[in-house]
Amino acid sequence: MSDLALESFKTTFHKGSLRERSVVTYIVPYGDSHVIVSETTPFHPRDYQWPDHPADRGFIENSLGRRYDLADVVFVGRDPDGNICVDSGIPAKKNDPGWSFCVGHVILGVRPNLSEGDPIILQVDNSYRWRLSRAHSAAHVMSFALNQSFAQRWRRKIPYIDDMGNPNFDAVALEKSNISPLSCVDRYRLGKSLKRRGFTVDGLKDDISRYEEEINRMIDEWMQNDAPISVESDGDNLTSIKCWNTTLDGVDVEMPCNGTHVSRLSEIGTIIVNFEIPDEETLIITTSVR
Ligand SMILES: [Zn+2]
């Protein structure tokens, strides 16, 4: 087996690509499956540290037209000594010195009829990607509306202000985010550390339906002005810094993001936001699109 060379590895999911012709550069056995690495890939992998956005689905096709469905799409890491780690087996952070990362396409079962150097086609499932992208874009619109709606609840200035000028509740309190086709569930902590920063939770539970109505109304108004959505990236590496951009209420906004997105607000569809406070320390927001 050759070494995993990543110098020319490129991702294209952040540009909206669904299909690439490329070449197999590496194959590694992984449990009861094989992980295939190619020079270029349109596939968005599930992040091994913050798995909010599921992996793309789709297939790899070899030069004989044989298609292999992907069971998963994951991060593959190469440590400074050239050792290979896959997904949750990666012990490093993305910016640890000497580490490089690429996308691994997981094919279940016996070794597929693929060798290093083989030309392949990589095809993403368009409809699944589309539904995830709509949900993820909707979740970011919701975040800005949430920050605006909660702005009055901050008793102190915090150093995290979003592009609309509001204290960034979303960035400070978000604990977990779970995107699925056409919906996103965000879990926020309302605990002591948020209170220490100056956020007041008094009466929040009683006012929950008022906030819900306000946010839904705000989003409806913002969505009247269709604006482009783009993902800006400082490169085509898997760990290049990427930012989601659009215009909300006349303001250009951005947010760091490694996901996939639709290319206009109108492509999201109608956004419906739902609040739930299951206990004193937790706020769960479900953002659905239809
Ligand atoms: Zn995102």
CA distance 241 to 233: 6
Amino acid at 129: R
Q: Band of the pLDDT at 6, cuts 50, 70, 90? A: confident
Using alpha carbons, list the distances in angstroms from residue 222 to 114, 246, 272.
49, 11, 13
Per-residue pLDDT of 89-99, as tens digits, reads: 999 999 999 99
3: pLDDT strictly greater than 90: no
pLDDT of residue 2: 65
Whole-number Å distance, alpha carbon 83 to ligand 1 midpoint, is 30
4: pLDDT strictly greater than 90: no
Q: Band of the pLDDT at 5, cuts 50, 70, 90? A: confident
Q: Band of the pLDDT at 132, cuts 50, 70, 90? A: very high
* pTM for the full predicted model: 0.96
In this structure, the dihedral spanned by the alpha carbons of residues 62, 63, 64 and 69, taken in order and rounded to 10 degrees, is: 20
Whole-number Å distance, alpha carbon 8 to ligand 1 midpoint, is 26
Whole-number Å distance, alpha carbon 238 to ligand 1 midpoint, is 15
1: pLDDT strictly greater than 70: no
Domains of the chain: 10-124 (2.40.30.130), 128-289 (3.30.980.10)
| Mean of per-residue pLDDT scores for the chain | 96
Per-residue pLDDT of 29-79, as tens digits, reads: 999 999 999 999 999 999 999 999 999 999 999 999 999 999 999 999 999
Whole-number Å distance, alpha carbon 257 to ligand 1 midpoint, is 4
CA distance 141 to 223: 9
Whole-number Å distance, alpha carbon 3 to ligand 1 midpoint, is 33
Residue 92 near residue 74, CB atoms below 8 Å? no
